[in-house]
Structure 1
Amino acid sequence: MKKIINLLLFTAAIFMVSCGDEASIPQYYNLKIALNPEEALVGSKLSKLKLVATNDNGTSQEFTLSGDTTINLLQGQYTLVLSGKVTDEAAAYVSGNTETILFANTTSTINLSKIIKSPIIFKSIYTTGGQQGYILDQYFEIVNNSDEVQYLDGLILSAPAGGQTKENAWQANGYPDLYACGQGLVIAFPGSGKEHPLQPGQSIVLANDPINHSTEAKKGNHCPDLSKADWEIYIKNVKGEVDYPTPNVKVIFTNNTRIRAFGIGVNGRSYLIAKCPNGMTPEQFAADPKNIMTMPGTLSKTQYLMIPSKYVLDAVDIWNNKRTNNYGTFLPKDDAQGILASTANAGKCIRRKVTKIVDGRAYYQDTNNSANDFLNNQELTPGQTPTSVDQ
């Protein structure tokens, strides 16, 4: 009898040890991720979805998603952060996060929100001239305002006429989300996709004529030195135009061969940076008759290249500073309100506000509202990085 009791005690001890060992073994469970897009995202194609799962010990794992999916994780408490891209909208992203406790197979729903945020934006725009009648010293600064490498390849610049006091012809005839190029040029950066990188915080200067205008102009004391500009807008079909050694952007569309410069706008104009969807080049877009219109409601035969709002990365509306009844060129999601133009012929630019400086790098304000984001009558400092925050 004693032997039987001892055997039972021994068996129980083994069972208890076994149970203790099993309890100490880390357990993995399936976590189904269910995506719940907000109304603005319904019907949108999403891409580059990335899920970061961080447990309560601070350990993170990254997963690539294409939609609802199931992942396998060690038991514990998790913070789930999802980010991604709206495929057919240049500046639209998705974001969502939630928390979950995983001690059994379970499902976690992540609510997705649409965010409009451009990694590439205008840093400064100078089109008001440094002296009366001299318009060749205009320039545009473009900056990578993100923390990842971006690429200039395929970026389109267009200059809608702007300067309106009421709805333009397209807005009045049911095309509020198409932006006509205005008279002149539409230009694009060359490259097949990753030939022209722009590092985080890096900016480039795009000049109509990349020379020292302070010595070329007759009264050039207000004109900038653009001899070190990064890119040139060369219009080869215009009489008297000079092709300087600076790399050229491409002219992909023109509707007025007499205009010698891109985006002339001494008293104000609107400007945008756009990006075609993957698989479409700027040249293909500009050659498609579906993207070209004449002005609705008129007999004009002038053709305009129309940029869809969903292709827009950044838009800036510069309003005539002598008017009080300026009317917006863009949808609010692209640019809610214009910045008043700098004083004409005084050699001043508009410059985007600096929100912070980290290790010498400036970060710029981008709320899709030019009135909030820009300062006018600023000094011309092409290629220079601001050293102070704007209050």
Structure 2
Amino acid sequence: MTKKYLFLFLMMMVSIGFNACQDDNDELRTTILSLTVQSPEEMTDFTLSELQAVFTERNTGEKTLSDPFTGTLMILLPEGTYDIAVQGKISYWINGKRQTGEVKASKESNVVLGEKAVLSLPLMLVIDHTDFLISEIFFTGTQTPEKKQYNGDKYMVIYNNSDEVLYADGLVIGQTDFLTVTKHAYRPDIMAEAVGVDCLIQIPGTGKEYPVDPGKYLVIADNAIDHREYNPQSIDLNKADFEWYSTSLGGEVDNTDVPNMFNLYDRMVMHNRGFKSFILARIPVENEQYLKDYRYHYDYDFVFNGITYPMDGDCYKVPNEWVVDAVNLSVESEFQWIVTSPALDMGWTSCGKVDKDPQRYGKSVRRKVLATNPDGTQKLQDTNNSSVDFIPDATPSLMENK
């Protein structure tokens, strides 16, 4: 072999060896990933099932689907950077009642390298509620240092418990005409189909003027002023989102920086002992048509000392299918019945133990937190049972940092 051909042969062998080493270095590297899911916050008595994870490699777009698992997953993945999404089912208990639902978890840009990797994702309960909830009602008001009742500082909080931006335009708040502490056989009985209300106040707007992000809320105030200027034991409602100001009430101050609710029917005067209940609704017809077509006249028999007195009354009715949320209020010593269909609310909540309980002042009813999302927003409990969904005699949210 001449020197020329020997040199070419050696160069070829070096090239083959180099390429072989290069191929060895380019072999697919894999990682054993241990993925654990954490239970939704506030939940202890539960069972997970049918969990499944999808791993999407961000550079290639390739997806890997796991086998079903219940808590911890071991899976072999090519090294890379992954977006991870988990979905599954959950069975859990709330105050002795079993509930079922779905859970999910997700996290982007997870770097998976080396022989082994460990990741943990918090699960979030999937709430199928697609509209607003009443999350708090401060109906009791406050007392002055002289133990006198102070008026005007009541409020309600409306919460977006969904996963989407919702628009509050046109929402109505109604207070029931019937009392939870006095039961009569009203004729006609419309409770299975509608709720009788003694007032309706409406959020203004043409459709998309008042967006509310998931996990955010609106404060609807009686009188949106800093009430501490008149009663040091009261609260500042100057930053409320809306107020139900009424020109017919003498002495009220209209905060021109806070939009007024529209008085669709009568004016809101919250019952400060909790004898009436509240609904949140969307009315799918024009206001004029509603006021024309949905008046409710009823009669009933009032019995006193064995004598029956025929009675009647008038209010408006809101069909149950229009009701977004309902919260029944009462007081323990006086409760007689729920004044909505059980399909809307099968329980009730309260402040105070007896009628005219002075301990009720400065207390509200607040909906329980079911879970906290990874972004810090909360999912509120909604089983259509105010007896288990609400905290009675709670510290009002606007008093916590007073």
The interval holding the TM-score normalised by the smaller chain is: 0.5 to 0.7
Pairing 1:58-73 to 2, within 5 Å after superposition: none
Query: Alpha carbons of 1:116 and 1:295: their partners in 2 closer, same or farther (altered >3 Å)?
Result: farther
Q: 1:309 aligns with which of 305, 320, 325?
A: 320
What aligned pairs does 1:187-266 form with structure 2 within 5 A after superposition?
187-217=201-231, 220-221=232-233, 223-245=234-256, 246-254=258-266, 261-266=268-273
Judge conservation of contact 1:204–1:383 (CA < 8 Å) in 2: no
State the SS of the aligned residue for 2:149. coil
- Closer/same/farther in 2, CA of residues 116 and 272 from structure 1, 3 Å limit: farther
Structure showing greater Rg: 2
Q: Which residue of 1 aligns with 2:386?
A: 370
The alignment-based identity, stated in percent, is 28
* TM-score, normalisation: structure 1: 0.61
Superposition misfits of 4+ residues, deviation over 6 angstroms:
none
5 Å-filtered alignment, 1:1-391, equals 117-131=129-143, 132-165=148-181, 167-170=183-186, 173-182=189-198, 185-217=199-231, 220-221=232-233, 223-245=234-256, 246-254=258-266, 261-277=268-284, 280-281=285-286, 283-288=287-292, 290-297=293-300, 302-323=313-334, 325-342=335-352, 344=358, 345-358=360-373, 359-382=375-398
* Gap change, CA 1:232 and 1:165, over 3 Å in 2: closer
Count matched residues. Answer: 265
Aligned-partner Cα distance in 2 for 1:234–1:332: 32
Distance 2:336 2:349 in 1: 10
Relative distance call for 1:180 and 1:349 in structure 2 (3 A) is same
Deviations along 1:199-256, whole A, 9 cap, x unmatched? 1111010101111222312xx32x22111111110112333332212111100111xx
CA distance, structure 1, for counterparts of residue 255 and residue 185 of structure 2: 38
Distance change (3 Å), C-alpha of 1:116 and 1:181: farther
Runs of at least 5 residues in structure 2 that lack an aligned partner in the other structure = 1-53, 55-61, 65-100, 102-126, 302-309
Q: CA deviation at 1:351?
A: 0.3
> Measured at CA, do residues 165 and 152 of structure 1 come closer, stay the same or move farther in structure 2, by a change above 3 Å?
same
Q: CA deviation at 1:354?
A: 0.4
Residues 130-171 of structure 1 deviation map (CA, whole Å, 9 limit, x = unaligned):
114223110000010000011111111100045434644547
Gaps of 5+ in 1: 1-53, 60-94, 96-114, 386-391
Q: Give the root-mean-square deviation of aligned CA atoms.
A: 3.2
Q: Which deviations, in whole Å up to 9, do the C-alpha atoms of 1:304-355 show, x marking residues without a partner?
A: 11111111000000111323x4311111110001113346552011000001
Q: Is the 8 A contact 2:191 2:339 kept in 1?
A: no
- TM-score, normalised relative to structure 2: 0.59
Shift of 1:178: 1.9
